[in-house]
A and B are shown apart, each in its own frame.
Chain A
Amino acid sequence: MTTAAAKPATMAQALQRAMRDAMAEDPTVHVMGEDVGTLGGVFRVTDGLAKEFGEDRCTDTPLAEAGILGTAVGMAMYGLRPVVEMQFDAFAYPAFEQLISHVARMRNRTRGGMPLPLTIRVPYGGGIGGVEHHSDSSEAYYMATPGLHVVTPATVEDAYGMLRAAIASDDPVVFLEPKRLYWSKAPWSPDAPTAVEPIGRAVIRRPGRSATLITYGPSVPVCMEAAEAARAEGWDLEVVDLRSLVPFDDETVCASVRRTGRAVVVHESNGFGGPGGEIAARVTERCFHHLEAPVLRVAGFDIPYPPPMLEKHHLPGVDRVLDAVARLQWEAES
């Protein structure tokens, strides 16, 4: 057996490992946020970092999101690489002023004189039975702000590789962590070399010929399952995991859609004004003559995130994806 034997590891462990490796390699990397120190974060993603690197490098801050992000801006101005944890998706909103007015545009307003290399980790999305304000999918807000990178891993390996890339990036990166995948396991050894994923590239998780499912983050496993189930109906679905919403990998997405001629965008944030609209529009603009059917969207309903006992009706599941796939037989319908 080699030392790189792959035991099952969780996404949370991979993320933690990414921060630990980054901190060990680069003394300017600082982790900060609410409860990230002694407790190791409410999801234990920063577990052990304060012990290993000291409280100056993994800091329990006062309870103030604008203050956390605002001070991180100043720290980045002085040459540090802050990695900020926002405890939950909906609790990042107090920091939006700092995010939009400063983080996103500091490089631009200073003509490149003051780039901000900082990573903002946000556990996001539903499916964990969280009470109100613990399950928002806020990616559309981030996507709508030029100057930010917006990425989200869907696998244990990507969690490591993408977080390393985010921390290494000289631009601010909003790193969305699908919290319902925190405990998903995969054979992954922290000792094995893991590729650091350049930000901005989508990947084909499953090749197929009859239609493309375009998805990311928590919806990737849903689409993989749907693709398996669709085989029985004679559909051979390709699943594209975007990984990065900004920048957007038009190339991989459009190449896939041109091959299959049909596409469904799947995400759990609400559909109206959501990421799917942008993605469908891009695909339509670029692949119109290859399309056999309109690009469809499968999204969460246009409602405030529902109470946990109802969330299963809100979150797009395998059946909803399959329904959309069935609707791709456009000629028959129209």
Chain B
Amino acid sequence: MTVQELPGDTAAYRPTPPPAWQPRTDPAPLLPDPEPYRVLGTESADAVDPELLLRLYAELVRGRRYNAQATALTKQGRLAVYPSSTGQEACEVAAAMALETRDWLFPSYRDTLAAVARGLDPVQALTLLRGDWHTGYDPHEHRIAPLCTPLATQLPHAVGLAHAARLKGDDVVALAMVGDGGTSEGDFHEALNFAAVWQAPTVFLVQNNGFAISVPLAKQTAAPSLAHKAVGYGMPGRLVDGNDAAAVHEVLTEAVERARRGGGPTLIEAVTYRMDAHTNADDATRYRGASEVETWRAHDPILLLERELTRRGLLDDEVRKAASDAAETMAARLRERMNAEPVLEPMDLFAHVYAERTGQLREQAAQLTAELDAAADAEGEAR
């Protein structure tokens, strides 16, 4: 007999009702809009501060040029690799511009541009990709965590930092960026869950650029949208047109301010498109057609912004030239500085492993010193 014996008259049996159940949070306000939120080309565009539109424009143009220059540097062998964010500049720039100086940015490997838009020296931002050191800048100075290569692992760091800042009484917000593929990683889940439970002042920005290397979003998730995932954690999800710089800026600024006021984390999905291949090592023609790329070309973030600026009489040749001149100056300077051989110090290998060198590392450092001395002697003799 596997079925549990019921007490008394079976026919008269009524199960006791379960204890009353209530959802912990009303899911409705957390749900993202059914369509990505847009500003440019809509009526609400009129309300956007012209100053902001012009700043976004200058940054987008500079960002596009930066991507082109860095890509060129890979072809010249100056960079080992460069994951371009061409097509995604609106996300990168608006993300950086939504932060105050005291806030922190937690970028992934593709978010060099966000770091540069935040004020990081363009050469320092490329050190990781050039290969002279893993992080070319002091994270505390810029409040930018190291560019992160293992997917989604920087997200819990952002949560922990935001949580610590709040414990210390600082109104600091952490913005963490991740790709659509990265949302499948366990760390994405753990970070969002911690952030919601702790009400940590964190903003998660997913740049859904359609692909994780070659894998399209449809093979990454069955969720209605990535922004919908927020509901499961008990935080608001926002869906935004990632090529609409004004919309991204508005949604991010709102989320950052809400977090700063103690309103907790937000998950934002910015729908965008990667125009270039994943990196220079990737052949994008193997997994997507030219027509798809062309469709997105018509929805280019710079184009959208130019159209709006023109409509409002804010764009003339002078503005265009100023933006493009600034971009060219940046690119020329970047090229020139990247063409200089980086100065490497081999003994740095042992400099920052531990606060104090262990006996093992002292021995190994002595070995390398001897090897370097011998090599210098040999070179001296050869001359």
Q: CB within 8 Å of B: which residues of A?
A: 30, 56, 61-62, 64, 66-67, 69-80, 82, 94, 97-98, 101-102, 105-115, 146-147, 149, 169-171, 200, 246-251
Asked if B193 is at the interface of the complex by the 8 Å CB criterion, the answer is yes
B160 within 8 A of A: yes
| Distance from B184 Cβ to chain A, minimum over Cβ atoms (Å) | 14
Choice from A74, A113, A169, A248 contacting B158 with Cβ under 8 Å: A74
Knowing that A70-B187, A74-B161, A113-B139 touch, tell me 7 more A-B residue pairs with CB under 8 angstroms.
Answer: A30-B167, A62-B194, A71-B159, A74-B163, A109-B146, A249-B359, A251-B359
Contact of A115 among B153, B186, B193, B355 (CB under 8 A): B355
B interface list, Cβ under 8 A from A: 133-135, 138-140, 145-146, 150, 153, 155-165, 167-168, 172, 174, 186-187, 189-191, 193-194, 197, 348, 351-355, 358-360
Q: Which residues of chain A have C-beta atoms less than 8 A from B146's C-beta?
A: 106, 109-110, 114
CA–CA, A249 and B194, complex, Å: 39
Contact B194 A67 (CB under 8 A): yes
Asked if A107 and B353 make an inter-chain contact with CB atoms under 8 angstroms apart, the answer reads yes
Q: Residues of A contacting B133 with CB < 8 Å?
A: 109, 111
- The answer to whether A113 touches B135, judged by C-beta atoms less than 8 angstroms apart, is yes
Across the interface, A74 reaches (CB within 8 A) one of B156, B186, B360, namely B156
- Which of A75, A108, A113 meets B160, CB within 8 Å? A75
Partner of B150, one of A75, A79, A101: A101
Q: How far is the CA of A201 from the CA of B190 in the complex (A)?
A: 37
Q: Per a CB cutoff under 8 Å, which of B160, B186, B193 touches A77?
A: B160
Q: Which residue of A lies closest to B193 (CB)?
A: A62
Contact partner of A78 among B156, B164, B189, CB < 8 A?
A: B164
Contact A67 B353 (CB under 8 A): no
Q: Whole-angstrom distance from the CB of A68 to the nearest CB of chain B? A: 8
In the complex, residue of chain B having the shortest beta-carbon distance to the beta carbon of A67? B190
Contact B352 A111 (CB under 8 A): yes
Residue pair A78, B168 in contact (C-beta under 8 Å): yes
A146 in contact with B353 (CB, 8 Å):
yes
Min CB distance B168 to A, Å, is 7
Nearest residue (CB) in A for B158 is A74
Cβ B197 vs Cβ A73 within 8 A: no
Given contacts A71-B163, A77-B139, A248-B360, contact A107 B352 (CB under 8 A): yes
A74/B174 contact (C-beta < 8 A), A114-B139, A114-B140 known: yes
A residues less than 8 Å from B352 (CB atoms): 107-108, 110-112
Which residues in B have their C-beta under 8 angstroms from that of A169?
355
**Residue contacts A-B, CB under 8 angstroms, 7 given:** A61-B194, A62-B197, A74-B156, A79-B164, A98-B153, A248-B358, A250-B359
Q: Contact: B168 with A79, CB < 8 Å? A: yes
Does the CB pair A77–B145 fall under 8 Å?
yes
Q: How far is the CB of B133 from chain A (nearest CB, A)?
A: 6
Which residue of the partner chain B has the closest CB to A250?
A: B359
**CB proximity of A106 to chain B, nearest CB, Å:** 8
Contact B162 A74 (CB under 8 A): yes
Most A-side CB within 10 Å, residue of B155, B168, B193, B352:
B352
Beyond A115-B355, A247-B360, is A74–B153 a contact (Cβ under 8 Å)?
no
Q: How far is the CB of B114 from chain A (nearest CB, A)?
A: 18
Complex Cα distance A79/B166, Å? Answer: 12
A73-B164 contact, Cβ under 8 Å, with A108-B353, A147-B354: no
Known: A110-B146, A147-B354. A67 touches B193 (CB 8 A): yes
* Known A71-B194, A74-B164, A80-B164: A171·B354 in contact at CB below 8 Å: yes
Q: Are B159 and A66 in contact (CB under 8 A)?
A: no
Task: Using CB atoms, name the residue of chain A closest to B170.
Answer: A78
Contact indicator B157/A77 (Cβ below 8 Å): yes
A17, B187: Cα distance in complex, Å = 33
Of chain B, the residue at the smallest CB distance from A113 is B138
Q: Determine which residue in B158, B162, B353 has the highest number of CB atoms from chain A within 10 A of its CB, and name it.
A: B353
Which 4 pairs from chain A and chain B are nearest by CB?
A: A74-B160, A70-B156, A67-B190, A71-B160
A22 vs chain B, min Cβ distance (A): 17
The answer to whether A97 and B360 have CB atoms under 8 Å apart is no
Query: A112-B351, A114-B146 given as contacts; is B164 within 8 A of A70 (CB)?
Result: no
A170–B160 contact, CB under 8 A? no
Minimal Cβ-Cβ distance residue in B for A69: B156
Cα–Cα, bound, A194→B161 (Å)? 34
Bound Cα distance A248, B164 (Å):
33
Give the contacting residue for B191; candidates A61, A70, A82, A97; CB below 8 A: A70
Residues of B within 8 A of A78 (CB): 160-161, 164-165, 168, 172
A169 to B356 alpha-carbon distance, docked (Å): 10
Which B residues lie within 8 Å of A106 (CB)? 146
User: What is the bound-complex CA distance between A182 and B348, given in angstroms?
Assistant: 41
Chain B residues within 8 Å of A94, by CB: 186
What residues on A are CB-neighbors of B354 within 8 Å? 107, 147, 149, 171, 247
Q: Is there contact, CB below 8 Å, between A246 and B160? A: no
Among the interface residues A67, A149, A250, which one has the most CB atoms of the partner chain B within 10 A? A67
- Chain B, Cβ-Cβ closest to A106: B146
What is the distance, in angstroms, from B230's C-beta to the closest C-beta of chain A?
16
CB neighbours (8 Å) of B135 from chain A are 109-111, 113
Q: Given that A79-B168, A97-B187, A247-B360 are contacting pairs, would A70 and B139 also be in contact in the complex, using a CB cutoff of 8 Å? A: no
